[in-house]
Amino acid sequence: MTIIIINFKTYKKGKEVLKLVRIIEKINKNIIVGLIPLDIKEISKKTKLKVFSQYLSDDIKEIKGSASGVFLNHSDHPLTFNKLKKSISLCKKNKLKTAVFTTSLREARKIEKLKPTYLIYEPKELIGGKISVSQAKPEIIRKFKDNLSMTFLVGAGIKTSKDIKTALDLGSSGIAISSVIMKSRNPEGKLKELIGSVTSSKAKYYYDI
Ligand code: G3P
């Protein structure tokens, strides 16, 4: 199964968050969305999507029982390795899944030992940019595949279905995206263009999500 993460970051506010969540849910219910802790409780009640917190705030109660999981060590919220280790174990105790981001294979190999639910490679300098991880770092994606035992996702600068296809062909099990959807005037059309399309009579997906 291809795993798709859509990180809302702080692009959307108030009612716009639920509006976009509804659009995504209509396209595919297995997509993981990353929201700020403040939005988790309300939005989780209203969607079947898997809602992850974009980081672990000081008070885990803010998301416990409503979020499916937490992003850890994203470039927007980097953690020391020690803090990451403690955060993963705290999440596990609280039945929260963990999606841990990394900027290098070296770090990924250490993170793998902590057994997170998901591991995502995102080169920091490509995040929000025009060139995708698939175009800029194909050899590193391949190295992730060859050197890790666990499956991994990739993200940063992904803008086209070709970027996604390349990432999957190189060995990743999914992708993490943000600006391509958040900045689109037609997020529904853009997401369908990226991951597939659904018509009323028959569903056609490029990927098994
Ligand atoms: O977590 C996903 C995000 O960091 C990637 O951002 O805008 O490059 O798709 P973007």
Provide mean pLDDT across the span 14-22.
Answer: 97
- How would DSSP label each residue in 32-72? EEEE-HHHHHHHHHH-SSEEEESS--S-GGGTTTT-SEEEE
115: left (phi over 0), alpha (psi -120 to 50) or beta: left
Structural Rg of the chain based on CA atoms? 16
Out of 4, 5, 6, 7, mutate this one to test ligand 1's pocket (max ligand atoms within 8 Å of CB): namely: 7
Q: Give the active site residue among 42, 77, 122, 193.
A: 122
Q: 1: pLDDT confidence band, cut at 50, 70 and 90?
A: confident
- Helical H segments across 47-160, by residue range: 81-93, 105-112, 133-136, 138-147
Cα angle 44, 32, 104 (rounded to 5 degrees) comes to: 135
Beta partners for residue 177, in sequence order:
6
Taking the centre of ligand 1 as the mean of its atom positions, its distance from the CA of residue 1, in whole angstroms, is 21
Q: 201: pLDDT confidence band, cut at 50, 70 and 90?
A: very low
With a cut of 60, say whether residue 116 has pLDDT above it.
Answer: yes
Provide mean pLDDT across the span 60-64.
Answer: 94
Instruction: List % helix, strand, coil for the chain (3-state, nearest 5).
Output: 40, 20, 40
**pLDDT score recorded for residue 196:** 74
Strands 196-198 and 203-205: antiparallel
**pLDDT score recorded for residue 94:** 96
**pLDDT score recorded for residue 65:** 94
Taking the centre of ligand 1 as the mean of its atom positions, its distance from the CA of residue 134, in whole angstroms, is 13
With a cut of 90, say whether residue 19 has pLDDT above it.
Answer: yes
- Is 125 considered catalytic here? no
- Do 74 and 101 contact (CB within 8 A), yes or no? yes
pTM for the complete prediction? 0.94
Report the atom number in ligand 1 closest to the C-alpha of 75.
Answer: 4
Dihedral Cα 64, 118, 18, 209, nearest 10 deg: -130
Q: 151: pLDDT confidence band, cut at 50, 70 and 90?
A: very high
Mean pLDDT of all residues belonging to the chain: 93
Taking the centre of ligand 1 as the mean of its atom positions, its distance from the CA of residue 188, in whole angstroms, is 18
Out of 100, 122, 131, 154, mutate this one to test ligand 1's pocket (max ligand atoms within 8 Å of CB): namely: 122
Taking the centre of ligand 1 as the mean of its atom positions, its distance from the CA of residue 80, in whole angstroms, is 21
